[in-house]
A and B are shown apart, each in its own frame.
Chain A
Amino acid sequence: MSRIEILKTYKIYIGGQFPRTESGRYYVAKNKKGQALANVCLSSRKDVRDAVVSARNAVGGWSGRAAFNRSQILYRIAEMLEGRRAQFIDELIKQDSSAKDAETEVNLSIDRLIYYAGWCDKYQQVFSAVNPVASSHFNFSVPEPTGVVSIVAAQNTALLGLVSVIAPAIAGGNTCVVLASEDKPLCSVTFAEVINSSDVPGGVINILTGKPSELVKYFANHMDINAVVYCENDTATKKLIQEKASLNVKRVLFYDTINWKNDEGQSPYFITDTQEIKTTWHPIETVGSAKAGY
């Protein structure tokens, strides 16, 4: 007897849960041939709001974890992704990748997670400094996570573009709200399932699907977001983001010219992009000028 295939409902990912969009709207994701691939949630601004609340609540716990533990968890995501290679390759092919490109993209995505897993407990040392000052103070600067990062992911790479921007943000102790590629949303939802089974606390990564044209504004003007990442090269949208982000002086990061498939797609500087430098002055007795006692 022939069997009816059970199709997956592609839902969004907020606070460790898979709700449908609050708006009840959806759109049909199609490939280039015009074949319908899935009904995908068309998220609304209220989904953004809910996601930011979850992300904000998760900041304390995530940034407070030992750097080494964050590293373990990123590594765990890579492990889980490895186990699901076939599914991701299949989805990428459905979304117009060639078999070879799909495999390369999944491999690169896994490797990129491993790369940032390695950096989790190292970037602090590389980018911290002990500063020479002209008074008797021990003066040092360390990077600290900025908080909630909103990310509008690249449109053309369904998985790699997503992983390449999420990984550095969370490696640095931030939490994030991500808008996946509108044209190629399948991998983002499946990636959320990977995250869900990788010991990543709920709320650290929130993934929405929908139209950038509707949601970018809220990614940029929400007062509880500390940095906004935009991966496309649309002049009008960039201007909008810069204007709206000025409301609470967000960090604005445009990754519009980066080819995620190359080595330029990974660097510890992507981590420091969403870090704030804290400088501490600690009073000391200057050893050299002390006459006795040392």
Chain B
Amino acid sequence: MTAEKKIVTVPDFRYSPHIDHVGVEERASRFTKRSIKAESKLNGLKLTLNMIDLTTLEGKDTDGKVKQLCYKARHLHDAYPGLPTVAAICVYPSMVSVAKKALGNSGINVASVATAFPSGQASRDVKIRDVKYAVNNGADEIDMVISRGRFLQGDYNFVFDEIAVVKEACGAARLKVILETGELVTYDNVRKASDIAMYAGADFIKTSTGKITPAATMPVTLVMLEAIRDFYYKTGKMIAMKPAGGISKSKLALHYLVMLQETLGEAWMNNHWFRFGASSLANDVLMQLEKERTGVYQSANYFSVD
């Protein structure tokens, strides 16, 4: 909190830029048509692995499941030498201590969803205690959800204040703010919610909980990346991005990296500034890497489930 003391005036969010629906979708589809050569592809795939928040957010999660996932995070595919690890494990608050212990000194972060994830329909007091519980158990990153109902009512101050107090409760943990774009209906709203989150103190803005469809899409992510760029031009502060949900194929992940590179540039091309929230993406990337290494198309049978 002490790092940046630059005075930023909070704008009136009613005047956030409008989004050209057709233009943004057209632009996003262009990123899928780049030709990527084998060597760049290999680097892109490894970078993708390194950007993954390996996620399990199920009601049926157990200590055993989380430990298994942590093992997977540390040993993605031991047959392939020199692979990076994933960036973080993303779990419910009740699983943070288990994950923290299982990951040890591997350097992999523990991210925890909080604030009554995924609906966010709880009192502010409950949300803050949820966050503090996760932080006290050792969470390095907190993924909060915004109150979409309040946002859609036009109660932007409520949303802003909530993010600000949650940020305060996070302490040293980095805060990811989930907009749940699938419930925000329009790109204009996505842009508005991104602006609110960034001005309120978000370290990351994140598309979705993964619990509803549509989750992350390329146009929505592009709108958010452009919001980050505008915010950076205005304040000089970098904000990280995390698309989550629905990204399960490495080809799509590479499209996202192209979009990131062409929208925000080199400085964002690492796991401090960009993450993929995904569970099945890792295996697909591993299969592609093995395919590049061996020259043989792979089968899911030969990769650990989780």
Contact = CB atoms under 8 A, between A and B. Distances in A.
A75 interface: no
B297 A248 contact: no
Contacts of B302: 223, 248
Contacts of A48: 297
B297 A218 contact: yes
Contacts of B298: 223-224
A49 B298 CA distance: 10
A175 to B, nearest CB: 14
Contacts of A223: 296-299, 301-302
A56 B302 CA distance: 14
B1 interface: no
Contacts of B38: none
Interface in B194-209: none
A224 B300 CA distance: 8
A49 B296 CA distance: 10
B38 to A, nearest CB: 14
Interface string A239-256: 000000001100000000
A222 interface: yes
Nearest to A221: B296
A49 B287 CA distance: 13
A49 B301 CA distance: 16
Contacts of B301: 223-224
Nearest to A222: B297
A266 to B, nearest CB: 31
A247 B296 contact: yes
Contacts of B299: 56, 222-224, 248
A163 to B, nearest CB: 27
A52 interface: yes
A222 B296 CA distance: 6
Interface of B: 296-302
21 contacts: A48-B297, A49-B297, A52-B297, A218-B297, A221-B296, A221-B297, A222-B296, A222-B299, A223-B296, A223-B297, A223-B298, A223-B299, A223-B301, A224-B297, A224-B298, A224-B299, A224-B300, A224-B301, A247-B296, A248-B299, A248-B302
The 4 closest A-B pairs by CB, nearest first: A224-B299, A223-B299, A222-B297, A221-B296
